[in-house]
Amino acid sequence: MFLDPSDLPDDVTSSSESRHSGNDDWGTGEAFEPLDDLSLVTEVADMMAVFAAERFVRIDAMRRSAVADAARYGGACVEIVERSVRLELAAALRLTESTAARLLHLAEALVGRYRIALESLWGARMTDRHAEAIVDAFEQREERLRDELLPVAVCLAEKLPLGSFRRALRKLIEAESEATLAERFASAITRRRVVVDQPEEGMAWLHALVPAVEAQASSARLTAMAKVFAADPAETRTLDQIRADILCDLLVEGDTAIHPDGARGIRATVSVTVPVLALLDAEAGERTRADGGAESAAGVARADGVVARTVGADRAGAAEAGDRIESDRRIGDSTSGGARRALSSAWVEGLGPIPIDVARDLCAGADGWMRVLTHPETGVVLSVGRTQYAPPPAMRRLAKWRADRCMAPGCGIPAARCELDHTIAWEHGGETSLDNLAPLCKGHHTVKHHGGWTVKQVDGAGAIEWTSPHGRRYVVEPERRVPMFRPSREPAPF
C-alpha cells in the first residue's frame, strides 16, 4: 500500500509534531517527548535500514527457492533459472539487470557469509551502504581474513560515517592481508582503461581507471588550474564546469596555450606517507650499513638512488609534479605478521594504500619532504625532525598530516585541499598551536563559523567535537595522533 501525495496535509511539520505530542505515551501515563525534525528523519532512516535487511533476506529466499526447484531437474537448468530470477527481479523493481544482479549477490553474501553484518543492519545499527562496503571489501579476500576481521568491521560500521568507515576498513584489511598490496596492484594495473559511458542529452561520462597516485595528481592539477580561472571576477562557470573544460582542452588541444598565464606550469602535489625502513630494499640497506649509515631515510633515498621496479609508464613526471613524501616509521623490533606486512604499503592522502615499490620510485625524485619519526611500536609521532624547522610551515603541514582530511563529520576531502582553521577563533583569544588547529574544507569552514554549529578540540591530540544546532554531538577523530608535550608541575629529578 502506497501513500498518495495528495493525502499529505498542507503543513507536514505541524502534523508530524501533533502526532508526537499527545498527552501520554500510548496510554502508559508517561509524558511523550515531542520529536524534532531531525529525530523524525533518523527514525525513517532506521526504518529504511530494517527494510533493507528484510529486502536482502527475501531476495535471497526467492533465489534459493528457484535454484532448489531447478536442481531437481539437473544442474544444467540452474544457470538459466538464476538468469530468469535476475530478469524478473529487475522487471519487478524497475531496475537494470546489472543492478538486480548486484542485489542478488549482496543478498546471497549477507545471508550466507556476513550474518552478523545483516543482523546489525536489521537492528538499524548500520546502513545498507555500510553493509555493501563490508561485502565489497571482503569478498575477494581469504576466508580466514574475513572470519577474523568481520566482527571488528561490524563494530566500525556501527560507529563511523560511511567514508571514514571505508578508509578504516581498508587499513584494517591491509594490515592483516596475506596477499601483499604489491601483488594485487600488479594484477590491477593490467586493467587500466578509459571508458565512455551513459550518454545523455549530448553529454557522457569519461571514466579512467588509472593508478591512484596519477589519479590524485591529475585531479589536484585540474583543481589548481581551475582556481586560476575562478579567481577572475568575470568568470561565470562553477569550479566543476571549469575542471571539465580544462580536462577536455588538455586532451583535445594537447597543450595549455588557451589557458591564462597563471594556469601554466601548475604542478600537482600528492602527499604519500611511507614507512621509513620500507624505503630501503635489502641491497640499499647493506650499502647504507657499509657506508656507516645515514641520518634520514630521505638522505638514504637520495644518496643511494633507491629505484624500485617501475610499473606502467615512466613515473619521473609524477616525481617532478611535486609529490611530497612523508616518511612514517611505524615498525620496531616486532616480528608479527601484521608488523611485517605494514612494510609493504604506503598511504596516499585522501585515497588509500599503494605498493611500497611505487612509493620508493616516487621518493627517488621527490623534493619537499616532511620527515616524521614515530615510536617504533605505538606509531605515535615523536618528532618532525629539523628539515622543516620554521614553525608556521611545519605546524601547518603537521596539522594536515595528522588529520589527513577535512575534520567535519563524514567529510572525505583531503587535508591538502582544506583551509587550516583556528578552532577557537584568533579574535576570541585562540592560539596558533597544534591543539587549536584543524583542516576544514571551504564549505565546512563556512558552516563552522556561520551555520550555528559549535566546535571544540576535546583531547588536545586532534579530536574535534561538533555540536549541531539541534544539540547533537559528533566527535571526529584524526587519522593519526600527535602527542602534546606540556611542562610538568613536578620538580626536575636532578
Q: What is the 3-state secondary structure (H, E, C) of 24-88?
A: CCCCCCCCCCCCCHHHHHHHHHHHHHHHHHHHHHHHHHHHHHHHHHHHCCCCHHHHHHHHHHHHH
Alpha-carbon distance 391 to 371, whole Å?
14
> Is 144 found in the same domain as 76?
yes
> Is 286 found in the same domain as 247?
no
Per-residue pLDDT reduced to its tens digit, 171-205: 888 877 756 677 778 888 889 999 887 766 778 88
The pLDDT value recorded for residue 34 is 56
The pLDDT value recorded for residue 276 is 60
Q: Is 242:226 a contact under the CB 8 Å cutoff?
A: yes
The pLDDT value recorded for residue 169 is 92
Alpha-carbon distance 268 to 322, whole Å?
6
> Is 210 found in the same domain as 116?
no
Alpha-carbon distance 329 to 381, whole Å?
9
Closest CA to 105 of 119, 86, 88, 87: 86
CA angle 162, 157, 141 (to 5 degrees): 95
Confidence label for 103 from pLDDT (cuts 50, 70 and 90): very high
Q: Is residue 394 part of a domain?
A: no
Confidence label for 261 from pLDDT (cuts 50, 70 and 90): low
> Is 130 found in the same domain as 242?
no
| Sequential DSSP letters for 249-284 | HHHHH-SSTTS-GGGTT-----EEEE-GGGG--HHH
> Is 420 found in the same domain as 375?
no
Q: Is residue 493 part of a domain?
A: no
Q: At what angle do helices 115-122 and 97-112 cross, to 10 degrees?
A: 100
The pLDDT value recorded for residue 412 is 84
Q: At what angle do helices 212-230 and 239-253 cross, to 10 degrees?
A: 110
Q: Is residue 18 part of a domain?
A: no
376 compared with 447, residue with greater pLDDT:
447
How large is the average pLDDT for residues 399-410?
Answer: 89
The pLDDT value recorded for residue 55 is 96
The pLDDT value recorded for residue 362 is 66
Amino acid at residue number 75 = G
Q: What does pLDDT average to over the chain?
A: 73
Burial call 207-244: b when 16+ CB within 10 Å, e when fewer: eeebbbbbebbbbbbbbbbbebbeeeeeeeeeeeebbb
Confidence label for 116 from pLDDT (cuts 50, 70 and 90): very high
> Is 275 found in the same domain as 257?
no
Q: Is residue 138 part of a domain?
A: yes
Residue given cell 596555450 in the structure block: 257
The pLDDT value recorded for residue 75 is 62
In this structure, what DSSP letter does residue 162 have? H
Q: Is residue 3 part of a domain?
A: no
> Is 233 found in the same domain as 281?
no
> Is 250 found in the same domain as 135?
no
> Is 306 found in the same domain as 200?
no
pLDDT at 255 > cutoff 90: no
Question: How many independent structural domains does the chain possess?
Answer: 4
The pLDDT value recorded for residue 286 is 41
How large is the average pLDDT for residues 321-330?
Answer: 35
> Is 437 found in the same domain as 323?
no
The pLDDT value recorded for residue 344 is 52
pLDDT at 292 > cutoff 60: no
Alpha-carbon distance 399 to 396, whole Å?
5
Q: Which domain covers residue 105, as residue numbers?
A: 38-178
pLDDT at 74 > cutoff 70: no
Q: Is residue 14 part of a domain?
A: no
Using a cut of 0.85, tell me whether the model's pTM lies above it: no
pLDDT at 284 > cutoff 70: no
Q: At what angle do helices 282-290 and 297-304 cross, to 10 degrees?
A: 100
Distances (CA, A) of 237 to 35, 219, 231, 327, 402: 42, 18, 11, 39, 34
Q: Which of 383, 411, 433 is the last residue of a domain?
A: 383
The pLDDT value recorded for residue 330 is 32
Q: Which of 200, 229, 263 is the last residue of a domain?
A: 263
Q: Which of 119, 150, 178 is the last residue of a domain?
A: 178
How large is the average pLDDT for residues 248-258?
Answer: 71
Comparing 75-84, 319-328, 371-380, the range with the smallest average pLDDT is 319-328
The pLDDT value recorded for residue 260 is 52
| H/E element, 423 | none
Q: Is residue 183 part of a domain?
A: no
Comparing 64-78, 142-156, 355-369, 405-419, the range with the smallest average pLDDT is 355-369
> Is 42 found in the same domain as 120?
yes
> Is 426 found in the same domain as 336?
no
16 compared with 297, residue with greater pLDDT:
16
**Percent with pLDDT over 90 in the chain:** 26
Q: Is residue 159 part of a domain?
A: yes
The pLDDT value recorded for residue 220 is 83
Q: Which residues contact 400 (CB under 8 A, 6 or more apart)?
A: 415, 416, 418, 420, 439
The pLDDT value recorded for residue 188 is 82
Per-residue pLDDT reduced to its tens digit, 125-153: 999 999 999 999 999 888 888 999 999 99
Cα torsion 183, 188, 190, 191 to 10°: value is 170
